[in-house]
Chain A
Amino acid sequence: MSNPEFAIETRALTKRFGDVVANDSVCLKVRAGTVHGIVGENGAGKSTLLKMLFGFYQPDEGEVVVDRTAHTFADPSAAMKTGIGMVHQHFMLVEPFTVLDNIILGAEGSAKLEDARATARGALAALERQFGFNLPLDTVVEELPVGVKQRVEILKALYRGAEILVLDEPTAVLTPQESEQLFALVRQLRAEGKTVLFVTHKLHEIMAVTDDVTVMRAGKIVAERKTAETSTGELAELMVGAKVAREKTREAHGERVIRLSLKNVSANNDQGVRALKAVSLDVHDGEVLGVAGVAGNGQTELMEVITGLRQVAAGSVEFDNVVIASPDVATNPITLRRMGMAHVAEDRLKTGVVESFSAEDNAMLGYQREPDFSHRGILKLKALAETAKRYFESQDVRPRNPKLAISSFSGGNQQKLVIAREIARDPQLMIIGQPTRGVDIGAVTKIHDQITELRNAGKALLVVSADLDELLAISDRIAVMCEGELVGIVAVEDADEKTLGLMMAGEKRRAS
């Protein structure tokens, strides 16, 4: 085997989705034997690039060069054969199988499972020694903590002969300690001659672990730097581009009317584990309270207790000075909507819309009992069609056809429709989850502007987002959650990524 300078190189890789150019002539160069970071905001095109590298998407133009040979991967297995291994953000493991069975799955090499297992054990022992793993091979995967599952994925890729490991947002689901262990492993991999592609939007991780860094914005590579020669500040600027001065849109608050108030609210998750621990916070009229945190630290449950989707175990939620949720009180979402609360669901496709319904049918989801949509139980289909048309026009949803299934719209257009539906009744309080997740770049700014407009019109908004830059751009105050607790609330003037990052890791507390 030759020893090329670059482990992976892409040549003018381009991918379009309809009118949106997700990747525009991307020329990535990854030196062999290095840890190479790719940073960019959500929607910058990182995921699309990775999917093309791994054969999930086929590029419209350009090619991938691995080991001096140009490829267009028809599917992931073709990519794997050239030595690319990928660790996805969402693990591809069969939960009820053991670690060993997961690793050999699809690469058994023998019809008799016991033989395959025996062979694999030998090979894995060698790999584990080489890279300093210590995995419980006979434990069922679903019993393992997240960090260990990730190591199983990495070992799985190595077992398949990966020379280049692609890690997609590997720390999104990890605790700080687990992240540190991951970094150690990444360094070990590099020491053993592997190439690692490390994709993230967290700048301190780039500084901590990479040799080179590529910055993406709006589907293009905007900069390439040696990590040692750059700083988080420079990278942040590169990522965001010319940042809008957010102070401009912040208008002075009027009277500080408390619209929503949580008092020592606790709740359990679906598994019966306490996921929300004695959270107290207020949301005022004319403000956006951002909620930050690593995914899975109680933000989802927080939104659910407010919007009537989850039973409160202790404490109370008050809306307009009325207790809407407590251990003895549960309020139907329909009632909450009538009281003036709107909810843009965090998981749009699972909760916010019915994927297989038409856009029109989705335009009344949650409001189906309002008199404009039904009378004595009979639907007013004509009124619904007119309403949907109005929503489409007011938010510029495209294509302009409400009869199409909602799934045939892009994420951004789906979200626009959802927002149109939720603001149609002029709610006083809005609970918004991941406002721009899965939304194309074009729609992000519009959604942010809309949130600011609502705030300026005196509405109270609570916005949960995994995207710190988004929160910094739109919030007045940012509440940070970690392990179900409210770590603290900081005014946006005093907040920066570093402080918030430390708070999200639970390392630093700050009173509001």
Chain B
Amino acid sequence: MKKTFGRAVLSLAASIVMSVTAMAADFKPVVLYDIGGKFDKSFNEAARVGADAFKAETGIAYREFEPRSETQYEQALKRFARRHADLIVAVGVGYAVAVRNVAKEFPNVKFTVVDAIVDLPNVQSITFKENEGSFLVGMIAAMKTKTNSIGFIGGMDIPLIRRFERGYKQGADYVRKDLTFTENYVGTTPSAWNDPIKAAELAKSQYARGVDIIFSAAGPSGLGVIQAAKDAGKFAIGVDSNQNYVAPGTVLTSMMKRVDLAVHRALAQAKDGTWKPGHTVMDLKDGGVDYALDKYNASLITPEMKAKLDEARAKIISGELVVGDVAGSNTGR
């Protein structure tokens, strides 16, 4: 018994060593998710979808890690940097400081950070104009509301999420000026992303106050908002991924932030050798953000609404309409 076990351990250890050496010649990317985890049906899941698409196209496997707390950001980055990963994609605003620290320590490793700006020669920063996408869903909410009262629930109260709120509000105002607007945030720490119960409570209270559409920019917590909307027979607007399928008929639309595109692009560039450091902004123009329209919500968005949205989108892309931003919403300090 002992012998067999020992042999099994040995052979396994050997196979690991071999697999490591076998891969050494290949392209070795890594994706690090934020605390919500890769199955959050939202932000992190979008990143996973992008990485999976890359894997499907090229057959190159990627390694991934879901940190359990913010202290693990830096540790995970270092761990992979030491093992000479070719590209480490860190998804989430929380990685800002950690990527800066680790990128300085490992100048030969490439990093791509999504949602934060880190100004270092080996870091590519990708941010989104969430305010532009939010503008469009704000318009939808304004056109759809029957109670003339719409709401917003943010995850963690930081400038980045305030930017969603800003665009959403502005889009609604663009349609009509007579709306009542209610906003809440789940919390001030990263646990706010992972608290669907509290988010649902906030949503219930908003619906009770007459709100009939809530846009939640709260990652996994947003699932609580969708559930509350379903229970109350009201509307919710999803975020990051296309969440329309989560509750058809309840999810009015989703503000898609194409983290999948960003992750996919970074991986593909690094593989082709076209990866460059610096700051890239993904906006409405290049399809980085948009509202979701598919079979699940086709009946909810009327052709008139769609026409108005197309018009506004054209204006934003052309620069005729400028959506306001919030100071400090993408910092890498």
> Do A and B touch (CB < 8 Å)?
no
Interface on B for A, CB 8 Å cutoff? Answer: none
Interface on A for B, CB 8 Å cutoff? Answer: none
